[in-house]
Amino acid sequence: MEVTVTRPAPADPVVAALCAEQQLELAHRESREPYHPRKGINPLIEFVVLWAGGEPVGCAGLQPLERGVSEIKRMYVRPEARGTGLSRLLLAELEALAAERGTPVLRLETGALLTEAIALYTRSGFVPIPAFGEYAGNAESLCFEKRLG
């Protein structure tokens, strides 16, 4: 199956749909209310969308935090496309985007219950770091970092 990558705007309906699916899944897995952003998706996030067989199957975004540091946001692959290497491809695309932007450090936050995500990030060279920003003090948040190149 042919896999292609696009970099749509944060307001793109495909991005909105995939992010909504991601938030619903997280809410279900973490037994909490779904997150409903009041202002939509942060327009500073640059998204990568993966397509397989002409259908969108995953997305992830890169949000600037500070000079030289960006955060991976909204990492998601639809359940039917998991186990096919697409998550690794999404991470590789985000690393390429970060390199294009001159951003040598990537950070991310994930939930302590998301063991598949934690395994993906550690296999991909991310190392645990103290919680940063809005995640500081949240016992359910695990934060990771990767220095590129």
Query: Residues near 19 by Cβ (< 8 Å), separated by ≥ 6?
Result: 41, 59, 74, 76
Determine the pLDDT at residue 113.
87
Q: Which of 64, 144, 147 is nearest to 107 (CA)?
A: 144
pLDDT tens digit string along 65-109?
999 999 999 999 999 999 999 999 999 999 999 999 999 999 999
Adjacent-strand bridge partners of 59 = 49, 76
| 35 or 96, which is more confident | 96
Q: Where are the beta strands (DSSP E) in the chain?
A: 3-6, 46-52, 55-66, 69-77, 105-111, 127-129, 141-147
Q: If you average pLDDT over residues 106-115, what whole number do you get?
A: 93
Question: How does residue 115 score in pLDDT terms, banded at 50, 70 and 90?
Answer: very high
CATH class of 3-147: alpha beta
Q: If you average pLDDT over residues 127-133, what whole number do you get?
A: 96
Cα separation of the two ends of the chain: 31
Q: Locate the domains of the chain by residue range.
A: 3-147
Q: What is the pTM of this model?
A: 0.90
Determine the pLDDT at residue 30.
72
